[in-house]
Amino acid sequence: MKTITKNHPKKFPDKITVPYSYTFKKANVDEDDYHPVVWYQKHFDMAINKAHHYLLHFEAVDYQCQIWLNGHLIGSHIGGHTPFTLDISKWVATSNTLEVRVENFNATDQPIGKQA
């Protein structure tokens, strides 16, 4: 799900098919305007074994992002072409809310990703 806003949205009314940018038809989002800040939210449940570590993998986020899990800022990343992983073991629960704030201002001093 996503909502287009600079500030944290109270609701996430739209749904998106990832890994596509909201500008692609395959994303299933009816939005043509450029937005430099987009929020994504996903709820998920999972069985927890305290003896295990849990990793969250991103193949790429264009261009800069901050990630929250269950209300905790757990990490950030800059660079739209590189994968990254966060150890979420400390914050994961049986019921979870993941939120990702993505910034892409298409600045001339940053590489341009798939949204271009």
Token pair listed for 27 = 């994303």
Q: Does 99 score more than 50 pLDDT? A: yes
Query: 19-34 burial, b if ≥16 CB within 10 A, otherwise e?
Result: eebbeeeebebeeeee
pLDDT tier, 112 (very low <50, low <70, confident <90, very high otherwise): low
Which of 100, 101, 92, 85 shows the shortest CA–CA distance to 70?
92
Is residue 67 very low, low, confident or very high in pLDDT (cuts 50, 70, 90)?
very high
Tokens coding 40: 């994504």
Pair of tokens at residue 42:
């996903």
